Structure 1
Amino acid sequence: MSETRPAPGVESVAAQAFWDGLRRSTQARIGLGRAGDALPTAEVLKFRAAHAAARDAVHNPLDVPGLMARVRALGLGEPVHVASRAVDRSQYLRRPDLGRLPAESATGEKLSGIESTGADVGVVLADGLSPRALTDHGAPMLLALAAELGDRYTLAPPVIATQARVALGDHIGHALGVRTLLVLIGERPGLSVADSLGIYLTHLPRPGRADSERNCISNIHPPEGLGYARAARVACGLIEGARRIGRSGVELKDTSDDAELAERDAMVLEPGASPNSRCAADQTILS
């Protein structure tokens, strides 16, 4: 008996429902279907649009005055703008090394406007490979960090860095005299997300720090990605850990979930708990 197959490009109802369910859990391109030997035209157009958005996210310059106004409105001190040694976006992309070094003024001065504060924590908002990410998420992420750090730590005035790589923060943090530095930077855009922000933490920042001496909190772009409050809690936990062991990097681990997991386990194991205790605990954690 011959097997009946759907015509090319036509999915069964069950297959369509299967892929629709998975798509609700990921931004990845899955189950795109086909039209003959190629992708459907609609999917090809979506791919080209995503590629254009990623290119724009890399090349469109940061609106520095606009971001400075939003940061200033948070009341965390007068923000300072610094630039790397890369003179434009083209050179920034071709010469990553220049993005790690501060620019020199006509008088030979580096990091003009940066003064040593002796604060506990410094924050650099860097354009990185997605100025769009910093435009969309920089100010609200900084506000969440300030709320989470609260009265436990003193904050240096924010610094906005352009044509910047992560290591430029080492020079800025050293000049600020802070114990721990957080670099909020636009991550390299992908074809699903063009506005993802990352936070790089370096304890006792100074020029020459290796990448292995940093911790990264990645994929910050609510509502699909990590939220501001959650990212701020992780950053606060890493700061506490870095101060406790005296360093950051590969030896410092994120333990921010430990208390929540212990609380959930206590609810689940509590004598006389109802059969729905675990579900209730999970809802508490996720709310």
Structure 2
Amino acid sequence: MTDAREPSDEVWMPLRLSTQARIGLGRAGDSLPSRRVLEFQTAHATARDAVHEPLDVGHLEARISALGVPQALVVTSQASSRSEYLRRPDLGRRPADVGHLPATGADIAIVLADGLSPRALTDHGPGLFKALVDTLATDFTVGPPVIATQARVALGDHIGPALGAQTVIVVIGERPGLSVANSLGIYLTHRPREGCTDADRNCVSNIHPPDGLGYEAAAAVAAELVAGAHRLGRSGVALKDTSRERVTDGRARTIDP
């Protein structure tokens, strides 16, 4: 029987359809209903698995190659294992070696990084990469894709200059949460170099269709930011997203210093 002090499930159901937040969970005595407790434990386990699951580089390479682009290049950070990567964020920001990367001189370098959710890159990386290339290639040259493992965002500050790219776009698995464990983020840095901070970057987050931002919408925002960065000569807090009038089914944000 529904507690007289609580709204019925019929009241909460329409609200649950519009958010992934846990609302109107109900009560069983002094605790939550068993179903809600199990749902929470499942979400927590899913988030932990997403962080620790290693990226299958060969599988991702094959899927990227199937898009008809140049063969992907592979870079790893100085973190030697997933465990060390999680314990030493600083090692994830520095490459083990970029000497094998060719100086392409392309306008844009796209880095596919595992980040804190390799699962997100597996699920959404190829689709987002295709959308980015299709959108950017009309106005810019795009270098060969780079797959980065045990990677933090700042790893792109080394990869971009090695490729001779003006702008680096790091597509990276975002930190898993209890509602989403496979979300991607785009971090864009114009004129990347060692020592860049978040104030030098722009971010498009929450990319995980169908519940989050879609691939084409995210690519459209990124393309506007790239064009703005090339006009302005820099990215980051000085560069504002001007695509909102055309992209209404997602969100973009600029990282503050």
Determine if the TM-score, normalized by the shorter chain, exceeds 0.5. Answer: yes
The aligned counterpart of 2:168 is 181
C-alpha displacement at 1:93, in angstroms?
A: 0.5
Q: Structure 2 counterpart of 1:23, which letter?
A: R
1-structure distance, mates of 2:4, 2:152: 45
1:132-281 to structure 2, matched below 5 A, reads 132-258=119-245, 260=246
**Partner-residue secondary structure (3-state), 1:217:** strand
Indicate if the aligned counterparts of 1:182 and 1:202 stay in contact, CA closer than 8 A. yes
C-alpha displacement at 1:10, in angstroms?
A: 9.2
2-structure distance, mates of 1:113, 1:158: 14
Indicate if the aligned counterparts of 1:9 and 1:34 stay in contact, CA closer than 8 A. no
Q: Structure 1 counterpart of 2:223, which letter?
A: C
* Aligned match for 1:98, one of 91, 98, 103: 91
C-alpha displacement at 1:227, in angstroms?
A: 0.2
Q: Structure 2 counterpart of 1:82, which letter?
A: V
> TM-score, normalised on structure 2?
0.93
**Partner-residue secondary structure (3-state), 1:151:** coil
C-alpha displacement at 1:113, in angstroms?
A: 2.3
The aligned counterpart of 1:28 is 21
1-structure distance, mates of 2:74, 2:65: 12
C-alpha displacement at 1:7, in angstroms?
A: 5.3
Gaps of 5+ in 1: 1-5, 104-109, 262-284
Q: Structure 1 counterpart of 2:116, which letter?
A: L
* Aligned match for 1:89, one of 82, 90, 102: 82
**Partner-residue secondary structure (3-state), 1:167:** helix
What per-residue deviation string (whole Å, max 9, x for no partner) do you get for residues 159-183 of structure 1? Answer: 0000000000100001011111100
2-structure distance, mates of 1:244, 1:89: 39
Gaps of 5+ in 2: 250-257
Indicate if the aligned counterparts of 1:8 and 1:35 stay in contact, CA closer than 8 A. no
What per-residue deviation string (whole Å, max 9, x for no partner) do you get for residues 176-216 of structure 1? Answer: 11111100000000000000000000001111111100000
C-alpha displacement at 1:149, in angstroms?
A: 1.3
The aligned counterpart of 2:67 is 74
Indicate if the aligned counterparts of 1:174 and 1:207 stay in contact, CA closer than 8 A. no
**Runs of 4+ in structure 1 over 3 Å off:** 6-12
**Partner-residue secondary structure (3-state), 2:37:** helix
Indicate if the aligned counterparts of 1:82 and 1:112 stay in contact, CA closer than 8 A. no
C-alpha displacement at 1:75, in angstroms?
A: 1.8
Alignment: residue pair count? 249
Q: Tell me which protein shows more helix as a share of its residues.
A: 1
C-alpha displacement at 1:18, in angstroms?
A: 2.1
CA RMSD of aligned residues (A): 1.6
Q: Structure 1 counterpart of 2:233, which letter?
A: G
2-structure distance, mates of 1:22, 1:190: 20
Q: Find the structure with the greater CA-based Rg.
A: 1
